[in-house]
Structure 1
């Protein structure tokens, strides 16, 4: 049964433990490209660096390209309900929370694909 990790660090740690971290990076890159928001993570990117770069990318999208940001969330299939629950008064915090939701959804895709292949 899929149990979503509680935070980004736990999620990335679990992905590494299950040897699916590279698949997570690939899936994330793939979905960003589908949304025409290419993100250039090298496959050698560390979990900490992935977290930082994703956070920065989401922050910039919220700040300067809001329509593209919404499209990205739609393409990745991030829960609209969860996003609506967030407090948007601090964009840095919001970008961090949304980055986690994105990784959580991407992790779900990778985990299910691996489990039921």
Structure 2
């Protein structure tokens, strides 16, 4: 993707994190996630040297806890990150762990889009 000029949404978390790493934008992605979570008053404080697998797990855990115990804050976070509401509504909420995983991916996708566009058009 590094030579392409149009944004293509990654199919899953692994592809997304590979793209971010390959385009040398992984640290920017971490910064963006930290920034938006702080804006939502739900600090996640991901270290710059966090490995992609750890990042995925941390994000999943954080979203899971927000859904379980702080639902209003979870909704606020989705608003701050700007995850499209129609994408959230399509998810099956019957299994909270699976829902948290899917929402974590939607958040990652949105954060990656912000980083990608900022990099391409600044």
* TM-score scaled by length of structure 2: 0.95
Could you say what the CA RMSD is over the residues aligned between the two structures, in angstroms?
A: 0.3
> Please, which runs of 5 or more residues in structure 2 have no aligned partner?
1-5
Per-residue deviation, 1:40:
1.5
Per-residue deviation, 1:32:
0.1
Structure 1 stretches of at least 4 aligned residues deviating more than 4 Å after TM superposition: none
Pairs within 5 Å for 1:71-110: 71-110=76-115
Rounded to whole Å, the distance in 1 between the matches of 2:113 and 2:14 is 15
Instruction: Find out whether 1:7 has 2:35 as its counterpart.
Output: no
* TM-score scaled by length of structure 1: 0.99
Q: Which residue of 2 aligns with 1:61?
A: 66
Question: How many aligned residue pairs are there?
Answer: 117
